[in-house]
Structure 1
Amino acid sequence: MRIAVIGSGALGGYFGALLARDGHDVTFTARGQHLDAIRANGLRITGQTEIRLAVDVTDDATRIGPVDLVLLAVKATQLEGVLANLEALVGEQTAVVTLQNGLEAPSLVADVVGRDHVLPGVVRVYTRIAEPGVIDHMGGPGSITIGEWENADTSRVAAIRAAFAAAGIPSPAPADIWQDLWCKVMFVVPTGMLGALADAPLGVQRTGLRENLASIMVEVRQVGLAQGVDLADAVEQTLAFADQMPAEATTSLHRDLDAGIPGELDPLVGGVRRLGRRAGVPTPLFDLGHALLERRLG
């Protein structure tokens, strides 16, 4: 399979390396010191997975040409900057898997390449860039869940899942990819926002701030229900998932905001607010949290 990995950071570097190791024709995009290090020394994965590969890497996605599969692995804040180059990668049969946190990426990509090419994806893995050219795999399921826009059971999704599985990437088949996406958002966004507001890791949020956390999750559920997504038991399930996670865990949104960096505040917290407004669903806790965090950032 010919694959373009757009963004070879913590997610793209890790998953792309697994696919390249399994024999797929993978081309990565990168920038700056990360690009230079990969060109000079290859791409390294350390930690729970150990890989070192010489890989094809470029800073110009338009040079890659049409591929079978695009793994769109840039952060949500970087998405706008790569959309213009996507059409050069997309042929008649190309699938574009969106791996961004938040809710808006699939629609933004579909506006450029067409809905038929887009496979919404949900990633569950803990990775980070340890240094330029080196990705540290710290844990987590290491999975990519994908599905067709209308949740149809198609041969292309089956083939991509099989390729993922053969490369060591679990790819469960969800009954509803949108439900899975919203359930991830229900965990990542409330814990990121509340964690930053209260300077509290997950262990504090799920105990002393549990009612506050649940109330924020309820707002996500209400917005999702207005989109037609079945989230009836999602708050309880998400809290139960949070109870299983390390007490010291924090999200990248929390860490960025603590460092004075906006990070994905707008695509994550702002994204829930925008969808709520369009659906006529009030989100007062998200509105308050967004205002306080923007004020802190100045």
Structure 2
Amino acid sequence: MKFAVFGAGGVGGYLGARLADAGHDVHLVARGDHLAALESNGMRVESIHGDTNVELPATDDPADIGPCDYVLFCVKAHDTRDAAADIEPLLGDETVVVSFQNGVDNERWLAEEIGEEHVVGGVAYIFSTIGDPGVVEHTGGPARFIYGELDGERSDRVEALDAALSESEGIDAVLAEDIRVELWRKFAFICAQAGMTAASRLPIGEIRESDASWAMYRRIVEEVCTVARAEEVDLPDDTVDEWLTFARELDPEMYSSLHYDLTHDKRLELEALHGSVVRHADDVGVDVPMNEAVHAILRPWADRNEQ
């Protein structure tokens, strides 16, 4: 099958390399120094699940690639609308665009640009970044990728995607029964982990050691779950306890991508995370004071980093 990876960074680059190793026709969309390195030296994946080197066609112009069977959409959430507007050359009548991004709004934003019939939801559980241009470093996480039709249907196209990902070494592939549940489930964790490490500028270990901070971490998860259930998302009853148990076991030096972007003067995904919680909460009449606090603390930094 022909795949395009739109945003071949830590997540997209990892997926593209594993699919290429499984024999699929993979094309990368990237930019800047990373693109230059991909074009000249190929891509190296350094992974806890095994390293690999691949030489794949890479470009910053989707028109160079043409229509694909699947587009793996892996850009930062704040780039979703702009990137979606550039995706048209990759689309045929049957092309499937799978969002592997942070947040619960990306699929809707994509659908508004390219049509809901093209969009499939996805969730990625992987700690991976661009270590150097052309090098993807996978340092943790199960490399689990969950995906599914937005309406919950088990379609031929999503089963074909499942087969391609399942046969790729280094990918834990899961076809979701209800992708909305999976999106909100991860959202609850990432808002707590990202919000607390970024707002405090401290790793999870020190947050766990502070009773007040650890209580706030829990309340962020609880608030997101409350909003999800108010939107009729059937989250498991143990979601909060599950994530608190998971967070207790994280490496004490673990931060988040939001903290990384904050401390490296990069644009923040704040509006796709805590800003989104606040907006959804307002729509359903739920109070989310902890998420509001994180949003208020980080909004000036987000403004500064966008200049």
Matches within 5 A, 1:36-55: 36-48=36-48, 49-55=50-56
For structure 1, the 5+ residue unaligned runs are none
What letter matches 1:222 in structure 2? T
Question: How much has 1:273 moved relative to structure 2?
Answer: 1.3
> Which of 257, 276, 281 is residue 281 of structure 2 equivalent to?
276
Q: Is 1:18 the equivalent of 2:18?
A: yes
Distance 1:63 1:289 in 2: 42
TM-score norm. by structure 1 comes to 0.94
What letter matches 1:137 in structure 2? H
Q: CA-to-partner distance for each residue in 1:163-207, whole Å, 9 max, x for gaps?
A: 101112211233321111111111111121122222332223334
In the alignment, which residue of structure 1 is the partner of 2:217? 213
In the alignment, which residue of structure 1 is the partner of 2:176? 174
In the alignment, which residue of structure 2 is the partner of 1:193? 195
Matches within 5 A, 1:70-85: 70-85=71-86
Q: Partner of 1:175: helix, strand, or coil? A: coil
Q: Partner of 1:167: helix, strand, or coil? A: coil
Q: Partner of 2:191: helix, strand, or coil? A: helix
Tell me, yes or no, if the aligned pair for 2:122 and 2:145 is still in contact at 8 Å.
yes
Distance 2:269 2:73 in 1: 16
In the alignment, which residue of structure 1 is the partner of 2:241? 236
Q: Partner of 1:229: helix, strand, or coil? A: coil
Distance 2:96 2:23 in 1: 19
What letter matches 2:5 in structure 1? V
Tell me, yes or no, if the aligned pair for 1:69 and 1:94 is still in contact at 8 Å.
yes
Tell me, yes or no, if the aligned pair for 1:31 and 1:59 is still in contact at 8 Å.
yes
Distance 1:115 1:191 in 2: 30
In the alignment, which residue of structure 2 is the partner of 1:105? 106
> What percent identity do the matched residue pairs reach?
37
Question: How much has 1:279 moved relative to structure 2?
Answer: 2.1
Tell me, yes or no, if the aligned pair for 1:191 and 1:205 is still in contact at 8 Å.
no
Question: How much has 1:121 moved relative to structure 2?
Answer: 0.3
Q: CA-to-partner distance for each residue in 1:12-32, whole Å, 9 max, x for gaps?
A: 111101111211111101111
Q: Partner of 1:224: helix, strand, or coil? A: helix
Question: How much has 1:114 moved relative to structure 2?
Answer: 1.8
In the alignment, which residue of structure 2 is the partner of 1:68? 69
Tell me, yes or no, if the aligned pair for 2:195 and 2:258 is still in contact at 8 Å.
yes
TM-score norm. by structure 2 comes to 0.92
Question: How much has 1:132 moved relative to structure 2?
Answer: 0.6
Distance 2:138 2:297 in 1: 33
In the alignment, which residue of structure 2 is the partner of 1:251? 256
Question: How much has 1:241 moved relative to structure 2?
Answer: 1.6
Distance 2:172 2:179 in 1: 15
What letter matches 2:19 in structure 1? L
Q: Partner of 1:67: helix, strand, or coil? A: coil
Q: Could you list the runs of 4 or more consecutive aligned residues of structure 1 that deviate by over 6 angstroms after TM superposition?
A: none
Tell me, yes or no, if the aligned pair for 1:121 and 1:147 is still in contact at 8 Å.
yes
Q: Partner of 2:98: helix, strand, or coil? A: strand
Distance 1:17 1:250 in 2: 26
> Which of 174, 183, 186 is residue 184 of structure 1 equivalent to?
186
Question: How much has 1:296 moved relative to structure 2?
Answer: 5.0
What letter matches 2:250 in structure 1? M
What letter matches 2:223 in structure 1? E
Question: How much has 1:262 moved relative to structure 2?
Answer: 4.2
In the alignment, which residue of structure 1 is the partner of 2:141? 140
Tell me, yes or no, if the aligned pair for 2:193 and 2:256 is still in contact at 8 Å.
yes
Distance 1:174 1:84 in 2: 27
Q: Partner of 2:174: helix, strand, or coil? A: coil
Question: How much has 1:54 moved relative to structure 2?
Answer: 1.5
Q: Partner of 1:157: helix, strand, or coil? A: helix
What letter matches 1:203 in structure 2? G
What letter matches 2:227 in structure 1? V
In the alignment, which residue of structure 2 is the partner of 1:203? 205
Moved more, 66-75 or 151-160: 151-160
Tell me, yes or no, if the aligned pair for 2:198 and 2:256 is still in contact at 8 Å.
no
Q: CA-to-partner distance for each residue in 1:140-169, whole Å, 9 max, x for gaps?
A: 211210011111122221111111011122
> Which of 215, 227, 249 is residue 223 of structure 1 equivalent to?
227
In the alignment, which residue of structure 2 is the partner of 1:88? 89
Distance 2:87 2:254 in 1: 34
Distance 1:237 1:111 in 2: 34
Question: How much has 1:34 moved relative to structure 2?
Answer: 0.9
Q: 1:262 to 1:91 in 2, by over 3 A?
A: closer
